[in-house]
Structure 1
Amino acid sequence: MSIQQITPKQRGYLIVNSHPTGSEATADRLWQRVGPAAPAGRAPVALVLGASAGYGLALLLAGLRRQGIRGVGVAYETPATERRTATAGWYRTAAVADLVERDGGDFTFVNADAYADATRTEVLELLAERYGPVDYLVYSLASPRRTDPATGEVHHSVIKPLGSPYTSPSLLFEDGAPQIGTVDLTPADEAEQAATVKVMGGEDWQLWVRALADSDLLGPGFITVALSYVGSEITAPVYRQGTIGAAKEHLEASAGELQTGLLAGRGRAFTVVAGAAVTQASTAIPSIALYTSLLRNVLGEDGWRTTDDQAVDLWEQLTGAKELTLDERGRIRLDGWELEAGVQDRVRELWADPAAALAADPAGAAWFYNQFRQLYGWDVPGVDYTTGAETAVAWPGRQR
């Protein structure tokens, strides 16, 4: 037992500790929101890469609750030590495993580097032994670095524009109070762009699909999806037209290569363009916090589509309960609510003078700050932060 009284250790958009009870509560709230509605009959087998946070977590829970999936989730989280708590994803995963067990489900969680060949081998053996061929592969990895399994070289991603410098207003928080700042970024060079594509592009996704195929673990009607984002023209210089955008273009091209190559006659591959969200990955992108806050002001609670809303929608499309919403490039689109012309027009008006917009309506910024803190288990409604919490929580399955 390691009961500790914990307070957040925060620097800007980075919180270096998490709250176990708060993190567990966020998983439980998501679990309650997305289900249950699992159909009778055969439970499909799913492999979820990046299962502890963001869209990966939402898709895992929506799949468990709505589709009754069984299978394997892979994440790379850090356990607690004497001086530090575990990562929030560690506590969320432990909570999800308890919920699955309580619900009578069958899902195994592996804590390991999903980019490593050794992890692929371990997961493939687990699938072959316990679950059989995979019906759905969800690829939702987000990491600042990746070790190339073929060369051993470590590649680091960067968030930079391409071609020209980028200057933009940004949202800062001083002791929780929102204010407008400025971000200035120099353009990436060719090596930085290439490294970002290596980390965030489709190379690793293709390795996972090939590994499943080579092991005869592609189920009939196999479908794989990888999460992508387009976003607004407001953020395009640092996102879609920047290094991350180059990586997403590679990811999206990989879907076509899989569809016409390795999966021809054997399955389908799609990139999924999700809508804006407050995730640990998105908060690292300059100007995204401000854009998301203004977007929230425009849409309000009723117009906002949460990650779990979108996850439920995607599963309905993948299972045939709803028709696939594809664009001209064959991507599944979940972001229509964000990019509707009237919505974007209003966000552009607010972006023209963000300080005035923030002063007139601080609700969006306050909402963003609350959502950001909840990623680490802080400010979760119903959690008593005045009492001690157990930090030494066991991982609910395999880890390396």
Structure 2
Amino acid sequence: MAERIVRPTGRGFLLLDSHPTGCVESVRAALPPIATVSRRPTALVIGSSAGYGLAATVAGLARQGIQGVGIGFERPPGRRTATAGWYRTIATAEFAAEAGSDFTFLNADAFADATKQETLDLLAKRFGGLDHLIYSVAAPRRTDPDTGETFQSVIKPLGAAHTTRTLEFDRDGTPALRELSADPADEAETAATVRVMGGDDWSRWITALSDRGLLRDGFRTVALTYIGSKLTSAIYRDGTIGAAKAHLESTAAGLTDLLKPVGGRALTSVNGAAVTQASTAIPGIALYVSLLRAVLGDALQSPMEQSIRLWDQLTGAAPLDLDEQGRIRLDRWELSPDVQAAVAERWSSITPGTISEVADVAWFRAQFRALYGFDIDGVDYDVPVEPDLPWPT
């Protein structure tokens, strides 16, 4: 593919092309300092190319010196550029090499048994065992390996229709406050969402690793989850996604029983709000996060900051910060009563005319565009770039 100038084109919070240089620089801009380590634990990160999975991978490489495997599922370059995660993985692989880590990235469907087989074979041959598995998957669909049936997830409330306000941007970048309504999910839609985003696949991974004898003593696994504010609960935590997250969290107890022979433990980690490609698809979240940023400013913790804390707790460098349900809580800064009260006040008072004053919409738009490699400091977007970059080997 010839070099060309890449511009941000698309609709809503979905851009059709990603900027290769911008995506690479977005990873490099977030790199934490490399720590000196005495040993390199072996880790498998499922969902390593985007969002919290990407942050957990980079934080693990930098702060814990992890070696191992990361799995993403990204579109390669073709008629359009590759997806942003393709280029971010290139940058992460370069950083892993600089940090002296033996870390392999697979571009594959994590739900497929063939991917599990390939990954387990690689772990067995290369490392002999596994210390940690981080599960961070947000997918629209999943094909059940046993039946071949494909399930589609939906973002809907449960029980009753729900209308919420949300943040959108016009073509020229002007912020707009709009209302979105969603009908309630039926039982089949709810069940399908749980099959896609619940704990089924996480459990299959742990079972497969256990059956192969690849779990080292003290093995720990964590699946990432979210609770969020009461302001967004109807469409999120009390909706179909929340049902899937509840299933994911309940799966941890059964997995911990499975891990008893190796002294292992399965946990879920409740992370705080962030601008990710998954979160921007949820009605109301863009407005909520913009208001949260307006309240907290730089005190809003990035996925990288939270991931560093997560690794400290997983490795025993810091004590586990657990709630009554046994979940790691990395979101206490978000859900403190004072913060939520301030966000709720802004949520109730905001109008189309005050949106730019009450919410940090400029920050949100820059964060959203950065997901695709745009608005990154130091990148000249008028210079042609080569989009046909190979997946790291």
Shared topology, TM-score over 0.5? yes
**Letter in structure 2 aligned against 1:13:** F
Q: Within 2, Cα distance between the matches of 1:115 and 1:382?
A: 38
Does structure 1 conserve the Cα–Cα contact (< 8 Å) formed by 2:291 and 2:358? no
Does structure 1 conserve the Cα–Cα contact (< 8 Å) formed by 2:65 and 2:101? yes
**Letter in structure 2 aligned against 1:221:** G
1:320 matched to 2:307? The reply is: no
1:97 matched to 2:90? The reply is: no
Residue 252 of structure 1 corresponds to 249
**Letter in structure 2 aligned against 1:39:** V
| Deviation string, structure 1 residues 196-250 (Cα, Å, up to 9, x no partner) | 0000000000000000000000011000000000000110000000000000000
Q: Within 1, Cα distance between the matches of 2:132 and 2:24?
A: 26
Does structure 1 conserve the Cα–Cα contact (< 8 Å) formed by 2:155 and 2:235? yes
Q: Within 2, Cα distance between the matches of 1:357 and 1:99?
A: 44
Greater shift after overlay, 349-358 or 141-150? 349-358
1:269 matched to 2:249? The reply is: no
Equivalent residue runs for 1:1-400 within 5 Å:
2-31=2-31, 34-40=32-38, 42-81=39-78, 83-174=79-170, 175-260=172-257, 262-266=258-262, 267-301=264-298, 303-355=299-351, 358-359=354-355, 361=357, 364-397=360-393
Does structure 2 conserve the Cα–Cα contact (< 8 Å) formed by 1:171 and 1:178? yes
Does structure 2 conserve the Cα–Cα contact (< 8 Å) formed by 1:350 and 1:357? no
SS of structure 2 residue aligned to 1:390: coil
Q: Within 2, Cα distance between the matches of 1:213 and 1:316?
A: 24
Deviation at 1:363, TM superposition (A): 5.8
**Letter in structure 1 aligned against 2:284:** S
Change (3 A) 1:145 1:343: same
**Letter in structure 2 aligned against 1:160:** K
Does structure 2 conserve the Cα–Cα contact (< 8 Å) formed by 1:136 and 1:223? yes
Identity score, percent: 55
Greater shift after overlay, 309-318 or 1-10? 1-10
Q: Within 1, Cα distance between the matches of 2:68 and 2:116?
A: 14
Q: Within 1, Cα distance between the matches of 2:380 and 2:59?
A: 27
Q: Within 1, Cα distance between the matches of 2:273 and 2:90?
A: 27
Deviation at 1:362, TM superposition (A): 5.6
**Letter in structure 2 aligned against 1:12:** G
Deviation at 1:7, TM superposition (A): 1.0
| Deviation string, structure 1 residues 142-197 (Cα, Å, up to 9, x no partner) | 11000101111110000000001000111110121111000100000000000000
Does structure 2 conserve the Cα–Cα contact (< 8 Å) formed by 1:45 and 1:132? no
**Letter in structure 2 aligned against 1:102:** E
Number of equivalent positions:
391
Query: TM-score of the superposition, structure 2-length normalised?
Result: 0.98
SS of structure 2 residue aligned to 1:221: strand
Question: Structure 2: any 5+ residue segments left out of the alignment?
Answer: none
Q: Within 2, Cα distance between the matches of 1:44 and 1:146?
A: 30
Q: Within 2, Cα distance between the matches of 1:139 and 1:35?
A: 24
| Deviation string, structure 1 residues 88-125 (Cα, Å, up to 9, x no partner) | 10001011112222332210000100000000000000
Change (3 A) 1:311 1:390: same
SS of structure 2 residue aligned to 1:109: strand
Greater shift after overlay, 7-16 or 99-108? 99-108
Q: CA RMSD in A?
A: 1.2
Q: Where does structure 1 differ by over 2 angstroms across 4 or more consecutive aligned residues?
A: 356-360
Does structure 2 conserve the Cα–Cα contact (< 8 Å) formed by 1:156 and 1:199? yes
**Letter in structure 2 aligned against 1:5:** I
